[in-house]
A and B are shown apart, each in its own frame.
Chain A
Amino acid sequence: MVPSKFAYHRPSTVKEAIELLAAHGDDSKILSGGHSLVPVLKLRLNDPEHIIDVSGIESMGGIRDNEKSITIGANATHGEIANNAALKAHAPMIAHAASMIGDVQVRNFGTIGGSIAHADPAADWPAVLLAADANVVLSHAGGQREVDIDQFFKGLFMTAMDEEEIITAIRIPKTAFNKNSTYVKFPQPASRFALVGCAAAIANSDGYITEARVAFSGVSGTPFRDSNVEKSLKGSVLNEGSIATATASVADGVSILSDHFAKENYRKHMAGVYARKALSALA
């Protein structure tokens, strides 16, 4: 398994990377940890002429604990995220989900930026970042913009990113719901991506739910938040009864994926089961 020939670039700043992207356009691909792109190249499902390796760009790395948010550099690896103290404290589901991705080697190479750019609907990050109300920081020649995660995932392997943009960071707000959050996954037995991945984040006041964010990976071609579940929870006390009511009809009206591991009916059922597991863990 060898890829087609390509030219390799290793910019050291975002500006340089964007210039390279502008110069080579369609014929180029950004490379970060390589754990999604390299298999694609080796299987020759794509044969870009230019590879722009952003893993050496320092400003895209690291995890910064700010006053109101935590900024995760696009190049932060799943492994770094899993072990980050600020994330464990302020958004436990983020660190927890990271620890469930692949194996040690994958976690030490694969990055959060690469994962969401790839936008595999069965990846773990989409559900978690949707539930976390994250913002994606995109850089382009003219500067940068922040996209609300709710607007980011557009479909199977499709995002709101423009061709000449690069993800430089993901911002996680320090909120009450993120502090009280979790992620569970029903893994596809071969790849161990999510057949169902459910992230839940709940804020309470005086015992009543003030904000509920419940999102799914793996269930549909586009990762989504389930507004029915969230609405049902809001204003109630999180207990067995309210969880049962809220999760009775998970993923209603959503077009559901089907394969030889989980057909539509079973996947929908399991989405409900895993939503209940996630919410029960927070009750």
Chain B
Amino acid sequence: MTYIGSSVKRVEDKRFITGQGNYTDDIVLPQMTYACMVRSPHAHAEIVSVDIAHAEQMDGVVKIFTGKDTDAAGIGGVPCGWQVDFKNGDTMKEPPHPLLVSDKARHAGDAVAMVIAETYAQAKDAAEMVMVEYNVLPAVTNAKVARADGAPQVHADVPNNLAFDWELGNPREEVDAAIAAAHHVTTLEFINQRVICNAIEPRSAIGHFDTAYDKYTLYTSTQNPHLIRLLLCAFVLGLPEHKVRVVGPDVGGGFGSKIFHYTEEALVIWGSNQIKRPIKWTAERRESFMTDAAGRDHITTAKMAFDKDGNVLALSADTYANMGAYLSTFAPAVPTYLHGTLLQGLYTTPLINVSVDAVFTNTTAVDAYRGAGRPEATYLLERLMDTAALEMGRDPAELRLQNFIAPFDGVEQEGYQTQVALQYDSGNYEPVLKRGLEMVGYEQFRADQKAAEGTGKLLGIGFSTYIEACGIAPSAVVGALGARAGLFESAQVQVHPTGKVSVYSGSHSHGQGHETSFAQVVADKMGIPMEDVEIIHGDSDAVAFGMGTYGSRSLAVGGSAIVKSIEKVLEKGAKIAAHLLEASVDDLDYAEGKWTVRGTDKSVAFGDVSLTAYVPHNYPEGLEPGLDFSSFYDPANFTYPFGCHICIVEIDTETGEVKIKRFIAVDDVGNVINPMIVDGQIHGGLAQGIGQAFCEGAIYDESGQLINGTYMDYVMPRADDLPSFEIDRTVTPCPHNPLGVKGAGEAGCIGSTPAVVNAVMDALKGYGIHDVEMPITSQKVWNIIHGS
């Protein structure tokens, strides 16, 4: 049986579909208490006083902690996990992110106190009676505005709210000179708006200090339990790591927002030792809107220069990246090493310079959100490409084909060295665009578009040919770029005496289907049925170490670690088999679950070998018993999926309503283990990317209030907003990992957004505009058409 490449149904779905998933909020511990946070309603306000006297006396209240208590305990706050220093070498500004603020609130939702009670309702009632006196200050929510002199100061010791500035690529003067001398320059100023992650499961955390063992357990809705443990122990609370267990049980979606170490996790752990009882905190949906790290929020000016034949000569980009009020765990990496480094795109642009100001504002922190930096880079490049084609009277597909990097497989031909630090692993870009054009029926579409003129309906087509980078690695390189963690993965393959296999992975599934895809890999590589394989993840007491799941890294990095352990198992298994078969290891072949002496019918089954490993009566001399191996895999490079997304829209000129008629996605994610799961990842990503274009976007008022912080006002894309996706793939294997896989979790979200906006711009090309701010509402389109 070959499992790899087949659409095996997801084994985890039984428990999810039948409501038997085990999420953090489902966990109930004896003696458990419930926490409710008192949060600042103001975006920027000094805390004059906090009066808990009345609240403390209320029914069921166990304890109330304020910022004074965490200050007194000497807790510095949650750290940032990535350091990006200023252009001039100065150290990144990294003001503390306190668990509870005692001096001032820096965004609406900043926690001032934690109320712990016997029930959540009691905690909530008492939280309402904690009297906080605020001195409200002017707030700033826009990163560009925050840089100006006289803007409100989010942190007293961060002048002009600049956390750091950064640049990458060729010298700016060279780039600017090339732009100045170019035949044509396309300039765009745009906003890549803030989106809120909106995982269906709100964040939740339970802290439990077990006085019998002096051991802490944190259950938390996280994408990376070990990383949380490391940060909690080494940076926040100074706890002994062997006395802390972090469990990320079933997690209902993360999209990046559950990578980060949040204050509430540290609070429930610290608090549980103070009161010697477990504490559960679960976000209300409103708290999710106010406190989950958000995504995007870039204000950018970008220029792309061309010669008279349409060859790209140079690219410059200047971005204000909104960091929010504090630096979240990976925030500094997102607009820099995950954004600037992708600005080569699929094009041979010889000169590139990107410059970023990372800015504090009175808003919720911004960090990685599905795609993290690469969607912003793709949006920048692909909007420029279509706009340039329009301005130069060129066909957008042809303009791309002309500028594509030539194919290279990373084996015969070297990887492609970009102007912005990265070296692409393997790529063959023409086929994805050509396949897309074929699927869309490009010539017919252009004819239909002409025919629609004057009917009150405008048709438009938009392209996006993207590249992205997954499985960020190797550790030494990311360390040099400022990461305060490694980016490898671990896996243990434990063969039981009966030949059944438990696999412990440091990756963490929160919707991706690891329990299926990983089991497919293991079953195939070991020649055993999938039913004999169990994938275990998400518990730091079960899994030796792990870096978790984000950046589409799980199969490329975590899967490769599993393969390494399988190789070790099979290598030792062969020694045992050789002994049992009285043959030499070199004369054995392993296939379909048994070792066979080449050219004979003498064989021994995997199960017999595993039994022998644990009942080593007749056993090779000097070989240790057991069949159980761990590996750590640190990749040689990132992987670079790419693809082509094409969107067709129809606009009603009378109402400004936009309908997506078709959406075509041809992605190359390397080898595919489970096509159904990859399709699902692409579909979900497309919905999110299209959602950014048409639906989503945080709106703050002048005082820093999020005015669309509920589902009554914050638009999420729904199934009936979307067409039936037409998807296909090409396969360019990754040359540097054993599975040849590249990663598929974010591609849909990375490529789709500019395709949609480009399609709307193509439809509106008669109106002399070059940009429309996302989300594209009917009102905005109507304004353009009707000139208001």
Contact = CB atoms under 8 A, between A and B. Distances in A.
B711 A190 contact: yes
Contacts of B778: 262, 266
B8 to A, nearest CB: 32
Nearest to A274: B655
A190 B716 contact: yes
Contacts of B782: 266, 269
Contact of B125 (A4, A189, A191, A269): A4
B715 A190 contact: yes
Interface string A259-272: 01111011001100
A189 B715 contact: yes
A44 B41 CA distance: 14
Interface string B708-728: 100111111000010000000
B655 A2 contact: no
Contact of A266 (B285, B712, B779): B779
B395 interface: no
Contact of B655 (A1, A261, A273): A273
A5 B121 contact: yes
B120 A2 contact: yes
B699 interface: yes
B788 A265 contact: yes
Given A1-B284, A2-B120, A261-B779, A190 B708 contact: yes
Interface residues of B, number: 28
Interface string B287-314: 0000000000000000000000000000
Contacts of B457: none
A190 B125 contact: no
Nearest to A270: B655
A43 interface: yes
B711 A191 contact: yes
Among A43, A189, A270: residue with most chain B CB under 10 A: A189
Nearest to A272: B654
Contacts of A186: 655
A2 B788 contact: no
A269 B788 CA distance: 13
Contacts of B286: 1, 43
Interface in B483-534: none
Nearest to A186: B655
Among A5, A44, A266, A269: residue with most chain B CB under 10 A: A266
Nearest to A42: B284
A270 B786 CA distance: 13
Nearest to B788: A265
B720 to A, nearest CB: 10
Contacts of A44: 128
A263 B779 contact: yes
Interface string B109-122: 00000000000110
A2 B124 CA distance: 8
A273 B654 contact: yes
A191 B788 CA distance: 26
Interface in A215-273: 260-263, 265-266, 269-270, 273
Contacts of B128: 44
A5 B121 CA distance: 8
A191 B120 contact: no
Contacts of B777: 189, 260-261
Contacts of B695: 189
B711 A2 contact: no
Interface in B644-684: 654-656
A43 to B, nearest CB: 7
B285 A1 contact: yes
Contacts of B721: 189
A198 to B, nearest CB: 13
Interface string A1-41: 11011000000000000000000000000000000000000
A23 B157 CA distance: 59
B128 to A, nearest CB: 7
B649 to A, nearest CB: 16
Contacts of B713: 190-191
Contacts of B285: 1
A265 B783 CA distance: 10
Given A1-B284, A2-B120, A5-B125, A260 B699 contact: yes
Interface in B736-788: 777-779, 782-783, 788
Contacts of A1: 284-286
7 contacts: A1-B285, A190-B712, A190-B714, A191-B713, A260-B699, A261-B779, A266-B656
Interface of A: 1-2, 4-5, 43-44, 186, 189-191, 260-263, 265-266, 269-270, 273
